[in-house]
Structure 1
């Protein structure tokens, strides 16, 4: 594989020899490779590191791989998951099929098969993003609720003024619909029905206040054009 420095991997396997063998191989192509030996440790690492790709053994101590991935999928549909298992029974396959897998590999896994699965995961990361109809996930456990037009940190609501929420709703609606950038013109006519130096100054002041309440780089400025999420 070509070096994919921009992507990070969490490899979850309780057999230390298998885990070390594969992580050593993965480190040749990926700069950030994390490893865990059980489901609880894996979930803590997932929250801390936010990996792009997870390679998950089903048979894990403390919390098995399917339960771990179900926990992740409650709020995250975008991290790519490759499942490794010794089982090929229908129940395991059925449970796994609901978890938005990139691939499902039966152990022992050939390196070529894993390589192909990783290439598929990278292709998905480059070309697709899943947007929940209910919420838009941000960094540091913040999220935007489309149903309530509110920002939450974990389950605590972050206070914004009515106009600040109108601005956020516009930005997140556009981001959720695949529109990367929201122009100053669209924002000003939506919030103030006018585009002039006064409304533009008001927008910039409002954005300064909004950014103070959100994780760093949640909203980015395209100089002279507008704003985008992330």
Structure 2
């Protein structure tokens, strides 16, 4: 990393010495750097400063890192997140999938590791056209409300199941991004071992009848993406 990047970054860590060290380091590369020592302050800064990137330690007081990102992901899949954790067990990794982490790093963490994670994050910011808007207008007078996860046609609400709503919410969170089958299974079904590709395909078939033609695209052997 050699450039000053025009992104806002929020570093969340309760240990003061570690936090101050990394904040000083990050200011060498980012135009605006904010810091928080607990989850509640981090969430308030997230709402007021709208950071592009968050680096969050999992073990922070008042609201831990997982709870913080779960709250943010209720309406926002555009903010990039790197998780710092002492955990490497399967349950944490499965939970991490639902939070759309760009990277998780197991402590202790070197500057080389943090640099590589940030370079990957910046690459994602440059590569994907992320839509943070509240309403996405589709063809034929269809629309999707990002915050409410609500589909309308001619201003009439189209009935969706919770799984259909979560699936569309995931796809609409990133324009032009292909979401893998594994990501979809985890986000929509919570990694229920009983779900199959056929079950996903049946849901997509039902959804396509509620949307303009070619809104949901299947990418062979990869997954699904939204087209608008």
**When the two structures are superposed, what TM-score results if normalisation uses the length of structure 1?**
0.59
Q: How far does residue 12 in structure 1 lie from its aligned partner after superposition? A: 0.5
Residues of 1 paired with 2:85 and 2:145: CA distance?
Answer: 38
Aligned to 2:32: 32
* Structure 1 moving runs of 4+ over 6 Å: none
Q: Secondary structure at the match of 2:30?
A: coil
Q: Secondary structure at the match of 2:6?
A: coil
- The answer as to 2:114 corresponding to 1:114 is yes
Larger Rg: 1
- The answer as to 2:103 corresponding to 1:69 is no
Partner deviation per Cα, 1:75-132 (whole Å, 9 max, x = no partner): 111111100001122221221122111101001101000000000000000011345x
Gaps of at least 5 residues in structure 2 are 149-154, 156-173, 177-228
**When the two structures are superposed, what TM-score results if normalisation uses the length of structure 2?**
0.60
Aligned to 2:103: 103
Residues of 2 paired with 1:98 and 1:17: CA distance?
Answer: 31
Aligned to 2:90: 90
Asked if 2 retains the 8 angstrom alpha-carbon contact of 1:5 and 1:32, the reply is: no
Q: Secondary structure at the match of 2:104?
A: strand
Asked if 1 retains the 8 angstrom alpha-carbon contact of 2:58 and 2:84, the reply is: yes
Residues of 1 paired with 2:4 and 2:127: CA distance?
Answer: 15
Q: Secondary structure at the match of 1:105?
A: strand
Asked if 1 retains the 8 angstrom alpha-carbon contact of 2:27 and 2:33, the reply is: yes
Q: How far does residue 39 in structure 1 lie from its aligned partner after superposition? A: 0.6
Residues of 2 paired with 1:38 and 1:145: CA distance?
Answer: 34
Asked if 1 retains the 8 angstrom alpha-carbon contact of 2:9 and 2:53, the reply is: yes
What do you get for the CA RMSD once the two structures are aligned? Answer: 2.6
- The answer as to 2:132 corresponding to 1:144 is no
Distance change (3 Å), C-alpha of 1:15 and 1:90: same
Distance change (3 Å), C-alpha of 1:17 and 1:177: closer
Q: Secondary structure at the match of 2:88?
A: coil
Gaps of at least 5 residues in structure 1 are 132-136, 156-161, 163-175, 179-230
Aligned to 2:49: 49
For 1:1-230, list aligned pairs within 5 A. 1-131=1-131, 137-138=132-133, 143-144=134-135, 149=143
Q: Secondary structure at the match of 1:41?
A: helix
Asked if 2 retains the 8 angstrom alpha-carbon contact of 1:7 and 1:32, the reply is: yes
